[in-house]
Amino acid sequence: MNAAILAGIVVVMFAVGYRFYAGFLSRHVFALADDEPVPSRELEDGIDYVPTRLPVLWGHHFASIAGAAPIVGPAIAVIWGWLPALLWVGIGTIFMGATHDFAALVISLRHRGRSIGEISGVVLNRRTRTLFLVIISFLIWVVLAVFAFIIGTLFKSNPGSIFPINVQIVVSMVLGWLIYKRGIPLFIPSIIGYVALLAAVFYGDTFAAAFPALGEISVLSWVWVLLIYSLVASVLPVWLLLQPRDYLNSHQLVTGLVALGLGLVFLQPTVVAPAINLNPEGAPSMIPFLFVTIACGAISGFHGLVSSGTTSKQVGRMTDARPIGYGGMLAEGTLGMLAVLAATAGFASTEEWYVHYASWGEANGLAAKLGAFVDGGATFVAALGIPVDAAKTFMAVIVIAFAATSLDTGARIQRLVIAELAESHGVPALTNRYLASVLGIGAALLLAVTQGGGDGGLALWPLFGTTNQLVAGVTLLVVSIWLKHQGKPVVFTLIPMALVASVTLWAMTGELLEYYADFERLWLLAISGSVILVLDIWILIEGVRVWTGSPRRGAA
């Protein structure tokens, strides 16, 4: 099968979905209007609530949601064949993932920019609010540890990526200062910054060769450095680092997507992997595990946290929610589609593909799968005349940039969630953004050190996938009940909620059995997973009670 034709089919599906399905949701379900007040203008504080132009905020939002998960997940899931993975990415993105992100953004905009966890206390009851915020905190806890491992792994295997990633930080802070403190128009500085980032990519290998000691730093040491960095980033004003970095990253990431797409069209590679591979050695059942292995590439609870945690506080006009919420997820679905094709059409033969995917153990390696995407993607990019080594560095920088923006945003969201819990339960000390950030990052570091070091962070991935999807299910539940209260159609969020909740509960149960079978090593994952499962079932029961009109004790 020609990979370029498959890519074209998915892109057309996404365009039709945005034009018609997103338009229907915008007009008839959410009823968006240009003149509706937005939180960023009513509550502007210069730190979290900052009215932002659509191109800048779209870049921030897309870069924040598009972490490494839509790359790693599809690269693992193609062990069951390219067809199930591509169908889930395409159909799941249009009817579930993009709808979820759009809905989470709108409901937050209608509740003064509050997080989806806090909104659950209004829509359901105070008890549910606490339960949901705890689950969200667990998810961000795992996200921070997983994404730090992903970046550390790529720094270790691709030292040439270290220099350009650090240049991004410096250039972003300069850009933020120029725009927000000096009032300089965005266009020229952003072009200069973009060119500087691309130039840094081509200098990365030279820098790494000049400082060979960088290649000797261990993955776990990088995890320490990255989490300390995320601690600092989480307390800085949003305009100084988070916004400008995500804006610049979005340009670089879109450049990467375009380069991959053009290379795909130029090469016209054949998909050498089987369409369906139902019984790979050692692999769990495709159903339900396909749906949690490919999480962010189809639907992701983390996206709802970004939509309601940071993005909703920056939307400058209500109708911007459609291109940001729905359109941003379509862009991530495109990344997921390219990851599927890179992991199935980036090999010279079926035999070479089976070298990587002969068994679940081969496909499930974190470093191996990141390497498969980097190498496969570099093959596409090199078709445009770029040297192979530079193309590999560029692809590694793209993956790290995706992961780093989610790391930054995740740390900020964790701070906000901890502060919300502390405020509602009478712990004023933790409403301080510095103490809340230290607690959140410290917990992530504990998880990474105790549970991830033995296998390069691989043990953390399944818990991330299932927790992520459970949060998505609860978010859709909250939105569905809110729409019912508003007298709006609920079927467009209720059906995705039922599907994602059922398959994810099924998958989490299976994972817990594996964790408890190796309890001595995976004790923290086993305990955490059990708590998350109990809390999620509890919230679903509370949702059913509210839906059926049962008394809401503790209602907000």
Domain boundaries, the chain: 3-547
Q: Are 103 and 26 in contact (CB under 8 A)?
A: no
Nearest-CA neighbor of 243 among 28, 34, 51? 51
How many CB atoms are located within 10 Å of the residue 516 CB? 15
Per-residue pLDDT, 452: 58
Helical ranges in 346-429 per DSSP H = 350-357, 360-363, 366-382, 388-424
Per-residue pLDDT, 530: 94
Cβ-based neighbours of 404, under 8 Å, separated by 6 or more: 147, 151, 165, 168, 226, 249
Per-residue pLDDT, 1: 87
First to last CA, the chain: 55
pLDDT, mean over the chain: 88
Q: What is the DSSP letter of 20?
A: I
29-78: pLDDT as tens digits: 999 999 999 999 999 888 789 899 998 899 878 877 877 788 888 988 99
| CA distance linking residue 209 with residue 197, whole number of Å | 19
Nearest-CA neighbor of 393 among 159, 172, 199? 159
CA distances for 239 relative to 14, 39, 185, angstroms? 31, 17, 14
> 3-547 sits in which CATH class?
mainly alpha
| CA distance linking residue 13 with residue 20, whole number of Å | 11
CA distances for 47 relative to 30, 114, 269, 458, angstroms? 28, 15, 47, 35
Per-residue pLDDT, 62: 85
Per-residue pLDDT, 542: 92
| CA distance linking residue 542 with residue 378, whole number of Å | 49
Per-residue pLDDT, 550: 54
Tokens of 316: 């400058």
Residue 37: exposed, middle, or buried by beta-carbon count in 10 A (0-12, 13-18, 19+)? exposed
CA distances for 208 relative to 10, 48, 370, 393, angstroms? 38, 36, 20, 11
Cβ-based neighbours of 502, under 8 Å, separated by 6 or more: none
How many CB atoms are located within 10 Å of the residue 404 CB? 28
Per-residue pLDDT, 279: 84
pLDDT along the chain (556 residues), means of 10: 95 98 97 94 87 88 80 88 96 97 97 90 89 88 87 88 91 89 84 89 90 88 92 85 80 85 92 91 87 89 89 95 97 93 87 81 64 83 88 87 81 87 87 90 86 59 86 95 94 96 93 89 88 92 86 43
Per-residue pLDDT, 459: 67
Per-residue pLDDT, 210: 93
